[in-house]
């Protein structure tokens, strides 16, 4: 049977559970599933799977019972539903921590926690870039002081250990570290939460830079303009192309000796028409 602890999205879990049951029992159907859960209509569960409906507390427990989940699995399923249904960052993080606690020391949980940590702390990506472009001689004090705003040597050491574990950097026989081009993901929902936290941190860093960094070392500008829905999507496409171009410039820059953060913010400051 599929392990519920491998999931953070309850809709994905339900879809895979249904497919598995169809293999085990060809007569298993949405009608059978609905009847077992006590739902009046067979269309409710597939609508939940497709994201057209969300589970409330009562329907969550009914489905958990229909799937014959044990007590701990039911608690995990309920926490997963709450995590997916949560709207704000604090609420999502609360249920994510609950999910992690319920499968503590599970291999999947450890990997997921490490990946979440990487996305959720701004200085991990900074360290990933720095270890290969400055001569720090494996002295974590030097590495920590190279970060702006600087972090503690312990945080620098933890960063390196995490990045090695995630396969994002590698220590060479010479003692130097190189950056590996490995993309990581801990699931759409978890990644989205971590990236929201990261974006919040980098925006706050931008405020510090606005006041402290020398003008010659920064480029900060603002632009206010009016657009249609079509214009909005065209600008989003241009922002995507711009980001790809910046990545290309960075990859070709073999003389890199510093790390920069680029925040591109494009958001409404007026109400969006209801038709959209």
Domain ranges of the chain: 4-100
Band the pLDDT of 274: cuts 50, 70, 90.
confident
What is the band of 251 on the pLDDT scale with cuts at 50, 70, 90? confident
The tens digit of pLDDT for each residue in 185-243 reads 556 667 677 778 888 888 888 888 888 888 888 888 889 999 999 999 999 999 999 99
153-165 vs 122-130: helix axis angle to the nearest 10?
A: 80
Backbone angle region of 187, left / alpha / beta, with phi > 0 → left and psi within -120 to 50 → alpha: left
Query: Could you report the per-residue pLDDT of 9-65, keeping only the tens digit for each?
Result: 999 999 999 999 999 999 999 999 999 999 999 999 999 999 999 999 999 999 999
**pLDDT per residue as tens digits for the range 109-143:** 666 777 777 877 899 999 999 999 999 999 999 99
Average pLDDT, the chain: 89
Average pLDDT of the segment spanning 173-177: 92
Preceding omega of 258 cis (within 30 degrees of 0): no
Closest Cα to residue 3, out of 73, 64, 67? 73
Residue with the bigger pLDDT between 96 and 68: it is 68
Cβ-based neighbour number of residue 169 at 10 Å: 21
Give the model's pLDDT for residue 198: 82
* Mean pLDDT for the stretch of residues 252-272: 90
Letter string b/e over residues 48-80, b meaning 16 or more CB atoms within 10 A of that residue's CB: bbeeeeebeeebbbbbbebbebeeebbbbbbbb
β-pairing verdict for 169-171 and 177-179:
antiparallel
pLDDT above 90: residue 67 = yes
CB 10 within 8 A of CB 17: no
Q: What average pLDDT does range 80-108 have in this prediction? A: 86
Range with lowest mean pLDDT among 5-14, 99-108, 255-264: 99-108
pLDDT bucket at 87, cuts 50 / 70 / 90: confident
- Look at residue 109 in the predicted model and tell me its pLDDT: 65
Q: What pLDDT, on the 0 to 100 scale, is given for residue 184?
A: 61
CA-based torsion, 71, 72, 73, 74: positive or negative: positive
Residue 64 CA, chain-centre distance (Å), reads 26
Residue 157 — very low, low, confident or very high, per pLDDT cuts 50/70/90?
very high
CA distance 144 to 160: 11
Q: Is the pLDDT of residue 153 over 70?
A: yes
Residue 66 pLDDT more than 90? yes
- If you ran DSSP here, which 8-state letter would residue 177 be given? E
276 pLDDT tier (thresholds 50, 70, 90): low
Is the pLDDT score of 147 beyond 60?
Answer: yes
Q: Please state the pTM of the whole predicted model.
A: 0.63
Q: In what helix (H) or strand (E) does residue 171 lie, and over which residues does it extend?
A: strand 169-171
Q: What confidence score (pLDDT) does residue 107 get?
A: 66
């Amino acid at each position: 049977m599929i392990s519920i602890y491998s999931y953070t999205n309850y809709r994905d879990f339900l879809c895979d559970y249904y497919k598995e049951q169809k293999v085990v029992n060809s007569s298993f159907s949405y009608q059978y599933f609905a009847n077992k859960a006590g739902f009046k209509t067979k269309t409710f569960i597939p609508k939940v799977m497709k994201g057209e409906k969300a589970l409330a507390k009562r329907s969550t427990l009914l489905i958990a019972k229909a799937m014959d989940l044990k007590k701990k699995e039911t608690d995990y399923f309920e926490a997963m539903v709450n995590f997916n249904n949560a709207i704000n960052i604090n609420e999502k993080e609360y249920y994510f921590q609950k999910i992690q606690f319920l499968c503590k020391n599970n291999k999947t949980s450890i990997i997921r926690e490490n990946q979440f940590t990487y996305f959720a702390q701004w200085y991990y990506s900074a360290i990933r870039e720095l270890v290969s472009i400055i001569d720090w001689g494996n002295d974590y004090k030097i590495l920590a002081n190279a970060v702006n705003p600087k972090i503690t040597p312990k945080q620098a050491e933890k960063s390196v250990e995490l990045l090695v574990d995630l396969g994002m950097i590698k220590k060479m026989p010479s003692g130097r570290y190189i950056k590996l081009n490995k993309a990581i993901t801990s699931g759409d929902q978890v990644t989205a939460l971590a990236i929201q936290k990261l974006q919040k941190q980098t925006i706050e860093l931008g405020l510090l830079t606005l006041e402290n960094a020398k003008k010659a070392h920064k480029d900060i500008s603002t632009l206010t303009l009016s657009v249609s829905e079509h214009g909005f999507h065209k600008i989003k496409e241009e922002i995507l192309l711009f980001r790809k171009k910046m990545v290309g410039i960075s990859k070709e820059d073999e003389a890199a000796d510093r790390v920069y953060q680029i925040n591109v913010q494009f958001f409404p400051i007026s109400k969006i028409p209801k038709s959209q």
